[in-house]
Amino acid sequence: MIPRYPFGRTGHLSSRAIFGAAALWNVSQARADAALELLLAYGVNHIDTAASYGESETRIGPWMKRHRQDFFLATKVEERTYRPAWESIRRSLQRLQVEQVDLLQIHNVGDPQVWETVMGPGGALQAVLEAQQQGLTRFIGITGHGTLIARLHLQALERVDFDSVLLPYNSAMMQNPQYAADFEALMAVCQARNVAVQTIKSITRRPWGPRPQTRTTWYEPLEDQADIDAAVAYVLSRPYLFLNTVGDLDLLPRVLDAVARFRPDRPPARTMAVVAAEQALEPLFTGPM
């Protein structure tokens, strides 16, 4: 079973592996239901989806009829201004077949201009705050990709008391000195204020580039179990971090297995230094997004 840890100040003990429901983007309900059974078997009790994740919310909706009490449910809104964001939130609740989510996140604000629109007058933030005031969500968060996102999350926390942040964290990304410094500064603030930190792209090998895409991930992933073990350990060795799982249902069991077997006093068979050298790891993001 996967261990659990306080999800910031929410009062919820979340599994260290959070189900990244982008994996349900374009799958049948039968495949989605099989994923649910796997989550329950591993003790995963936190789902992270988004309005922009294809069929994901629609596939999760039937689960909520039977298992709402078993999951901390998070979704995201990617619209940038108030009215479209408000309409997106309402549609998400309908697709998820719930009256309230546990966490509503402003999604993908890694570009400074987008950040200003979202956070400014008439921006999506206004809709998210109103949703919280009306009881449509218990908590609020902010997410993003790209090399500027840790810095932008810091700015967001200066303006709004978000309950969680979400951003990339892996060995290749942390080779960028500025991103690493920004990430550590963000971590310090989050720990001081008890803001939950979710990480994505843990098993990234490199961008797809000219190579044919053989997985449903945005990136070419690590495939070998020992390599995945090392990548998972890289994240979980920092006890404050949560790991959002991979966006590919075929790789999901390997990631969950790695998380379930992780022990802080038991290093994996392969280190990230060895994996990085042998697999030629490359950062997925080299600029804003």
Residues annotated catalytic, as ranges: 53
Q: 75-92 burial, b for 16+ CB within 10 Å, e for fewer?
A: bbbbbbbbeebbebbeeb
What are the structure tokens assigned to 20, written together? 């990244």
Any idea what DSSP says for residue 21?
G
What's the half-sphere exposure (Cβ side, CA atoms, 13 Å) at 186?
A: 31
State the alpha helices, DSSP H only, in the chain. Answer: 29-42, 56-67, 82-96, 112-119, 124-133, 149-159, 177-193, 225-236, 252-261, 272-279
d(CA 91, CA 271) in angstroms, rounded, equals: 44
Six token digits for residue 272 = 């990230």
- Three-state SS at 288: strand
